[in-house]
Amino acid sequence: MVDSMSKAMPHTVVSCWQPFLGLALVAVFVSSTLGCPSRCECSAQSKAVVCHRKRMPTIPDGIPTETRILDLSKNKLTMINPDDFIAFPGLEELDLSGNLISYVEPGAFNALFNMHSLSLKSNRIKLIPLGVFTALTNLTRLDISDNKIVILLDYMFQDLHNLKFLEVGDNDLVYISHRAFSGLLSLETLTLERCNLTVVPTEALSHLHSVVSLHLRYLSISTFHPYSFKKLFKLRHLEIDNWPSLDHVPANALHGLNLTTLFITNTNLSSFPYQALKHLYYLTHLNLSYNRIRHIEGGMLMELVRLQELHLVGAQLNVIELYAFQGLRNLKVLNVSHNHLDTLEKGVFQSPETLRVLLINNNPLVCDCRLMWILQKRQSLFLGDSQPECSNPESSRGQPFKEFKETLLSYYVTCTKPKIRENKTQTVTVDEGQQAMLRCSADGTPRPIVSWLSPRRRVLTNRNHGRVMVHNNGTLEIKSAEMQDSGVYLCLASNSAGNDTLMTSLAVKSLGSLYANRTQYYTDPNNATANGTTSVTLGLDLKTILVSTAMGCFTFLGVVLFCFLLLFVWSRGKGKHKNNIDVEYVPRSKSNGTNVDSDEGQAGPRRFNMKMM
């Protein structure tokens, strides 16, 4: 309002902002020869009448008919009646903000065909009935924010075909009718903020076919429904800010949108919404600042090929994995200041050379060889006004990046290869069912990452696989050791400077006498396909092999039948000299390579005897 007014009166108005009074405008006018309401200031040249902050309880008399700009802000008006403005058909801008208006009659702005801008901001309106805005077909700017409106009715903006900016924030809105925004064919910017909506008004928004920018701020919406935004074909800028209870953005929440700018800031989001962003191929600016995101995984943002700026400030980022920005060929600005990052490796980026601005100040950075690339690029890369500093190692703590001497970089900023503390080739022996702990602690800068290879050379990483897990200190734990866990394990400690290895052999001693010296299983504890089909390799006689084979396909009952059949054939083929047979039944295991009899909770195999009569 103020902007457009000062544009309209470039020669006669001296205006200045008074930050504490909001829209207060101090104007000095050339006195008018035409009529002017007492206590108001008028400009003949721009046909403006300014009656700002005059404690007027009603619209003053004496406003010239040809008035184009009328400012009645900060008075004591309480109501707007149908004929109040009928005498001023030339009115283009009307400011009624900051009054005590609680009701606006339908037809209040009738006949104001030339009106461009109307402000009803900061009043006490509870409901705007149908018909208030009829005929305002040339209106481009409408502000009804900071009122007490609870509901937006169907078709209330129906005639505002030319409206481009609509402010409806700071109300008590609890519901927006499905057709409330019907007719707003030109609306380009919509701000919905500080109201009591609990869901995104998907249906209502779907009428805004021209909207380019949508700002949804200070809302207590906690979840997105799938396809929350429909038919917003022109929407390019979406801002979701200050939704304190939003903790998740489902994969299809933003489907149907083609955005170039997306803000999801100041929410309770704790993970990067990879899936929800996947289809936003035209995204160039992404701002995820002030959330609780801890982690950016590698290779998850491949689709965002046009992304130029990523802002993730003031989150709780611990790790940006290698290859995190794989595919982001155009990334120019990365702003990750005020996080918990200890490093940012070159391998994170698809093309580190396109980067122009990198803000990583206020992170606990460890100045070792991983940050060398940034230090070497200090001249071409803008690191921000507040320089990043090292917080480790001890020798360079508190040192701003720009103070490193170029020639000494390779002396100070170094890494050391991992060195495993344990002696070469340990042997660990445990009893079956006991916990097995294989130790492997390594020194080095940066701190080495320890992984283990199973006897079958599968990688056991730092994730919980149930029975088998790798602790942060490098120790491999097998919760309840089984015979088939025996074998030689390889520990691999690696960091950016290199790697070190250690072999540890694990021997699991059997307890059950029936098992001993009979069968030995070699199942990889981490091989999920192996859990039901353990391979039997040693010490079996023909009977057992046949029966064991059958175990793979038959239930206990099936095996009994099978044995009858077997005996029958046998007795036919070999005469009567062998008429009884001993069968050992080892039920197949159920899960995770567990070899425990889970049908009846018994540990050993069952034995039964059959005789031919």
Give the shortest CB-35-to-ligand NAG separation in angstroms: 26
**Stretch near ligand NAG under the rule CB under 6 A, chosen from 97-105, 223-231, 404-412, 525-533:** 525-533
Residue from 109, 224, 290, 452 touching ligand NAG (CB under 6 A): that is: 290
The one among 67, 99, 265, 362 contacting ligand NAG by CB under 6 A: 265
Nearest-approach distance from CB 76 to ligand NAG, in angstroms: 25
Please report, as residue ranges, which positions from 420 to 459 form the binding site for ligand NAG (by CB under 6 A): 423, 439, 441, 456, 458
Q: What is the distance between the alpha carbons of residues 143 and 399, in angstroms, rounded to a whole number? A: 51
What gap in Å lies between CA 457 and CA 521, rounded to an integer? 17
Q: Is 196 in the site for ligand NAG (CB under 6 A)?
A: yes
Among 134, 258, 330, 520, binds ligand NAG (CB under 6 A): 258
Report the C-alpha gap between 223 and 243 in whole angstroms: 10
* Residue 73 to residues 11, 103, 191, 489, Cα–Cα distance (Å): 22, 16, 22, 80
Contact with ligand NAG (CB under 6 A) among 46, 110, 147, 260: 260
- Going from the C-alpha of 287 to that of each of 14, 239, 343, the distances in angstroms are 38, 9, 21
- Closer of 65 and 473 to ligand NAG (Cβ): 473
The secondary element (H helix, E strand) that includes residue 437 is strand 436-438
Whether the CB-CB separation of 531 and 451 falls below 8 Å is answered with no
Q: Which residues from 43-72 bind ligand NAG, rule CB under 6 A?
A: none
8 A C-beta contact, residue 354 and residue 381: no
Our finding on whether 530 is near ligand NAG (CB under 6 A) is yes
Separation of first and last alpha carbons in the chain: 107
The contact pattern for ligand NAG, residues 375-414, with x = CB under 6 A and - = no contact, is ----------------------------------------
In the 8-state DSSP scheme, what is residue 535? Answer: P
Q: Is the dihedral of CA 88, 92, 98, 103 positive or negative?
A: positive
Query: By C-beta, is 530 or 566 nearer to ligand NAG?
Result: 530
What are the DSSP calls for 272-333, one per residue? --HHHHTT-TT--EEE--SS---EE-TTS-TT-TT--EEE--SS---EE-TTTBTT-TT--E
380 vs 513, which CB is nearer to ligand NAG?
513
Find the part of the chain contacting ligand NAG (CB under 6 A) among 51-59, 207-215, 242-250, 542-550.
242-250
Q: Which runs of E-coded beta strand occur in 254-343?
A: 261-267, 285-287, 295-296, 309-311, 319-320, 333-335
Nearer of residues 316 and 591 to ligand NAG, judged by Cβ? 591
The verdict on 137 binding ligand NAG (CB under 6 A) reads yes
Looking at residues 478 to 497 of the shown chain, list those that interact with ligand NAG (rule: CB under 6 A).
492, 494
**Strand-strand pairing, 165-167 and 141-143:** parallel
Binding residue (CB under 6 A) for ligand NAG from 12, 138, 189, 387: 138
Three-state DSSP state, 147:
coil
Give contact residues for ligand NAG (rule: CB under 6 A). 113-114, 137-138, 150, 172, 174, 196, 236, 241, 244-245, 247, 258, 260, 263, 265-266, 268, 282, 287, 289-290, 311, 313, 333, 335, 357, 359, 423, 439, 441, 456, 458, 471, 473, 475, 492, 494, 498-499, 513, 516-517, 524, 527-533, 535, 591-592
